[in-house]
């Protein structure tokens, strides 16, 4: 997170010198404050998630409730995303203000045992306080990417009007920002996410009581998400989901915030053998 904030300040300096650095610093403080208190609401709204209760989805609600008690966690809010692409994520600033969101697609393709593994995975993220870090990372990466896009448009419309050396240097700095800042931000996001996914898989398997349930769920989710993409999914928030919601080919596959599903399944299978 420190490296992400440093990258954000460097972007401000490249765009506006000392003034840009000061503005980026002030903006980063405000952004962190906003991320801590409101980013979970923004993400849920982005994916058009709606809160549901026991009467609407009794089986889902029961799974979340039972596993929360088993994990010694407060009951999180439960959200549904009306999307056929199966996926799930958790968000919130702490276990007392957490939410678990699943798509309608995941409800239709997973067995209840497999869904227990998925919910256990998300509750482990909550218990490990991954969700706050992941949510703030999403906000920082999204802002850096937005700044790079704005810089590219600024260079396109305003670049090349002056032969002044300082102006040329600014253009070079801006081009470096446009090219490298989003890549660096995503690489840092990957470093935050990948190790936490392995830990959440282990915790989810323990909560559900059977690693093979989660392994089977991951296989199904991965196969479908390789072919279809969740609505409104983008690089800034992809790390929040249990499997990468972006199609895994090309650049998105190279910079995936998730560890390889094959390795995750292998670890869960090994875990099941240890239990036996």
The whole-model pTM stands at 0.79
Residues 6+ apart with CB under 8 A from 242: 87, 88, 89, 118, 121, 122, 218, 221
In this prediction, residue 177 carries a pLDDT of 66
Q: Say which residues have a Cβ less than 8 Å from residue 16's Cβ, sequence separation at least 6.
A: 23, 24
- Give me the pLDDT at residue 3, please: 73
263 is catalytic: no
Q: How many residues are there in the chain?
A: 276
CA dihedral 144, 146, 152, 154 (to 10 degrees): -110
pLDDT value at position 159? 53
Residue 38's pLDDT is: 79
Structure tokens at 239: 């790390």
The catalytic position among 122, 197, 226, 263 is: 122
Q: Tens-of-pLDDT digits for all 276 residues of the chain?
A: 677 777 778 777 777 778 877 887 887 777 777 777 877 888 899 999 999 999 999 999 999 999 999 999 999 999 999 999 999 999 988 899 999 999 999 999 999 999 999 999 999 999 998 877 776 776 677 777 777 766 666 555 555 444 444 545 556 666 666 677 677 777 776 777 788 899 999 999 999 988 999 999 999 999 999 999 898 887 778 888 999 998 754 444 555 678 899 999 999 999 998 865
Return the pLDDT at 154: 59
Q: What pLDDT score does 66 carry? A: 97
Instruction: Decide: helix, strand or coil at residue 103.
Output: strand
């Amino acid at each position: 997170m420190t490296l992400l904030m440093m990258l954000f300040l460097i972007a401000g300096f490249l765009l506006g010198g000392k003034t840009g650095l000061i503005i980026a610093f002030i903006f980063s403080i405000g952004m962190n404050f906003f991320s801590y208190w409101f980013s979970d609401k923004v993400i849920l709204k982005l994916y058009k998630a709606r809160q549901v209760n026991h009467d609407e989805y009794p089986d889902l609600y029961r799974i979340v409730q039972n596993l929360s008690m088993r994990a010694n966690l407060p009951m999180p809010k439960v959200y549904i995303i009306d999307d056929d692409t199966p996926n799930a994520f958790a968000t919130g600033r702490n276990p007392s203000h957490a939410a678990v969101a699943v798509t309608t697609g995941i409800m239709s393709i997973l067995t209840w045992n497999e869904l227990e593994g998925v919910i256990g995975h998300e509750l482990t993220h909550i218990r490990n306080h991954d969700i706050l870090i992941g949510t703030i990372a999403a906000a920082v990466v999204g802002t850096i990417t937005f700044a790079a896009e704005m810089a590219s448009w600024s260079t396109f419309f305003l670049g090349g009007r002056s032969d002044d050396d300082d102006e040329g240097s600014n253009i070079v700095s801006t081009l470096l920002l446009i090219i490298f800042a989003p890549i660096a931000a995503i690489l840092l996001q990957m470093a935050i996410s990948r190790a936490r996914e392995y830990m959440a898989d282990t915790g989810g398997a323990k909560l559900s009581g059977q690693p093979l349930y989660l392994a089977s769920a991951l296989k199904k989710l991965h196969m479908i998400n390789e072919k279809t993409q969740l609505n409104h999914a983008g690089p800034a928030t992809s790390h929040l989901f249990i499997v990468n919601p972006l199609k895994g080919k090309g650049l998105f596959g190279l910079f995936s915030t998730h560890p390889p599903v094959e390795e995750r399944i292998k670890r869960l299978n090994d875990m099941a053998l240890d239990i036996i």
